Structure 1
Amino acid sequence: MEQDLELRSAVSMIINAGYQLDREAFEFLEDASKRLDINRLVKSIIEEVSKLPNKPLLINRELLEKKASELWSSEAAQKSMVTGKTGFQPFAKEVEADLTVLEDPAEKLSGTGSLNEYIEYFKDRFKKLSRILNRRVDVRNAVTIVEAFKAPVKSEVKIICMVTEKRESSRGIFIQVEDLEANATIFVPSNNHEVFRKGQRLVLDQVVCFSIVKGERNFFIAKDILLPDIPMRKPNLSPTPVYAALLSDLHVGSS
């Protein structure tokens, strides 16, 4: 009840000062009221904002987080002066843990490590990445390697494939690729600097789309290399201004 009154008082203070509060900022205040003196926080922000030459109409979450961090650091410093103790006082230490296991895949893991499972894994991975690539407007007309073999010489086609081998020379890069039906060789000439740099960055087992020109004897020359698009999604932020450091081993390639 007391927290609700403090929250109402803080919001009223912001509105009476002539500012607006967005939803994320309100959620932050609501959560911060459990640990901080939010009236002091809001007063400090209003004083700071009022001194700006171009006053904002909106007080957002970022501004609240910054000021809350400053106040927390100040309070921690004062405590260390009183107690005579010094050292780092992490804000996250005061935040109660809130962990939820959304899904545990342990029961679904039944692999034996056989060759067939290994092949099925790569097939499934190839299909999923192919679907992501096909969302690109400039990839929707891609064909299989077998269909590309049937194309007339000097015609331009696009194929979605997996990189299986790379050999770089002074003239360019020879890249062995495959899909679910066949394999082929694609040459990336060094005089096509932009595509050549893309080819250098490719790693084995990477699934990409090649824009190619059909040559003699089922030989292809790369005109461009198209990568899967990463969808732009708004991050799901925590209402509490804390950070997490996630530690893991690093995998590069197909592992």
Structure 2
Amino acid sequence: MPLETPARIVSELTSRGYNADREAVTLLAGADDPDAALDAAVERASDDVLKLSSDHVEAVLAEFERADDTPTSSGNESGNESVTETGSPEETKGVPRSEENGRNRDTDGDVGESVTDVSRPDESVRDPDFDARSLEIDGDVTGESTGTGEYEDFVSVFRDRFKRLSKQLRSRVNARPTSAVRKMPGGGDTAIVGMVSDIRSTASGHWLIELEDTSGTYPCLVMKDREFADAVDELLHDEVIAVEGTLSDDNDDGDGILFVDSLYFPDVPRTYKPSTADRHVQAALISDVHVGSQEFMADAWSRFADWLHTEEAEHVEYLLVAGDMVEGVGVYPNQDEELDIVDIYDQYEQFSEYLKEVPGDLEILMIPGNHDAVRLAEPQPGFDEELRDIMSVHDARISGNPSTVTVEGVDILMYHGVSLDEVIAELPDEKASYDDPHKAMYQLLKKRHVAPQFGGKTRLAPEEKDYLVMDSVPDVFHTGHVHKLGWGKYHNVLAVNSGCWQEQTAFQKSVNIDPDAGFAPILDLDTLDMTVRQFS
């Protein structure tokens, strides 16, 4: 059967061990006899070539034209090598997952459709619009890291964080430096923008918050009966907030305190309106593939890849992977006992083989996670050249963690999500939990920083600038790491934690983690509605 689409051409090339430039694929698809043109292009490729170039394909097609569209004797003379289409597998559709079990709603907004159970749908034709595509990356630390671990580096990153986040808050309060506040007469009103350096409760049950700016620190008291007192439960060390209130009468004696009347986070404006694409196009948001683990769900992955080749998935033109492509080595105690592939490079080689199963016309972007072979401290640069070469399948693009990816006008903040562990550990269950990982993501959006707390479980690297600050509001916030599926809208920003492709490991069972595995959130970029498909 002739190769009618770029997707089929790429699939056949990968089955023969080749890749190709996008323009080369387009040329083969436009040939009068794509099947014969592909055979000839492969036959005429040099022995050491693994990627067919557009120049090579043009030369082959020119030879076809000279021979009246008939391959010459230097091509596939027998003509008996052809591509056959396998029988279409039966499609099985389930019912939408219930809201109680699906965690696909939240009080801040409706987010499209429910989870759909998917098996292997009928194959059909994909015909993506390459000219309409656009994908830009911002905030990538790769190649820009300057940190040496010296004291000055830590000072630089915290000063940069404070400068940028305080700028967001100063438009809402008339703040003064703490050094100036100390000199003000008692009883007056003022405001402070500062970084949380300490939080403690008093003997009477009130909250004392030490705020630090570039000129010093100042104590701020939140009375337990204030209507916003529960906001103190959301505070993390080192985040930047603003307070307004009244100074104690003894302020000018040097023993003053600010009685807080209002507390502000940098936050996302409630009136925020996200951008959308100008056409109906979709992106698949996945994370935590964990190839190399004995619990990697190869069958579910193949069902996902098969589905991407179908007519039902014809509008899925982007695949965004939020880290942990492989299981890694030495990440947690006794991990070696749960590995199917023990060599880290072999794990990436195998991941690349699985990546070949998805359509070659997809735009793919990947960021690293804590199981990947990059530094653990965030921000994480993208992979080194050796690993990039291994994962060059389909010309996949690689960026650092975190990165903002603008896909046809939609800003998608991709962050693997290690800090979610800390947020969930520090905050009350109703504000952040593993069962509802998107609520923990709301907290990061509120703080406008993906990993605010320094010195905890999340390793943070000192840089000249803080790559973890959210200067602008994303339209979509995509994370992984916690292996739980959850999504919802916070002030019109869609927060998605995309689950994983790894069944429960012995280690996860020991720490009571029950993963949501084999799911693929599919995002409509033109409406920001989302459907989650299940392949497990």
Residues 74-104 of structure 1: per-residue CA shift (max 9 Å, x gap): xxxxxxxx9462324399x946586745455
1:151–1:84 distance in 2 versus 1, CA, 3 Å: closer
SS of equivalent residue, structure 1 residue 218: coil
> What is the TM-score when the length of structure 2 is the normalising length?
0.29
In 2, the alpha carbon distance for the partners of 1:239 and 1:161 equals: 43
- Counterpart among 135, 157, 165 of residue 121 in structure 1: 157
Letter in 2 for 1:113: G
CA pair 89-164 structure 1, distance change in 2 beyond 3 A: farther
Structure 1 residue ranges without an equivalent (≥5): 1-81
Residue 182 of structure 1 corresponds to 216
- Asked if residue 253 in structure 1 is aligned to residue 258 in structure 2, the reply is no
- C-alpha distance 230-83 of structure 1, shift in aligned 2 (>3 A): closer
**Partner SS for 1:119:** helix
TM-score normalised per structure 1? 0.58
Write 1 or 2 for the structure with the bigger share of helix: 1
Q: Secondary structure, in 3 states, of the residue corresponding to 1:199? A: helix
Query: In the TM superposition, what are the counterparts of 1:14-53 in structure 2 within 5 Å?
Result: none
Counterpart of 2:166 in structure 1 is 130
Q: Which residue of 1 aligns with 2:241?
A: 208
Q: What's the CA shift for 1:234?
A: 2.9
The correspondence for 1:221, drawn from 259, 265, 269, is 259
Q: Distance in 1 between matches of 2:159 and 2:186?
A: 30
- Cα 1:143–1:250 change in 2 (3 A) is same
Report the Cα offset of residue 154 of structure 1: 1.4
1:107, CA displacement in angstroms? Answer: 2.4
Q: What does 1:97-112 correspond to in 2, within 5 Å?
A: 100-102=135-137, 105-112=141-148
Q: How many residues align?
A: 169
Match of 2:90 among 85, 94, 111: 85
Runs of 4+ in 1 over 6 A off after TM superposition: none
Unaligned residue ranges in structure 2 (runs of 5+): 1-86, 92-118, 287-321, 323-415, 420-450, 454-459, 461-536
Paired amino acid for 2:187: K
SS, match of residue 205 in structure 1? coil
Give aligned-pair identity as a percent.
Answer: 21
Q: Which structure would you say has the larger Rg?
A: 1
Alignment partners' CA distance in 2, 1:172 and 1:250: 31
Amino acid aligned to 1:249 = G
8 Å Cα contact 2:196/2:209 also seen in 1: yes
**Secondary structure, counterpart of 2:225 in structure 1:** coil
Q: Which of 191, 205, 213 is the matching residue for 1:158? A: 191
CA, structure 1 residues 234+100, in 2 after alignment: closer, same or farther (shift >3 Å)?
closer
Q: Which structure has more RCO (C-alpha within 8 Å, separation ≥ 6)?
A: 2
Partner secondary structure for residue 285 of structure 2 = coil
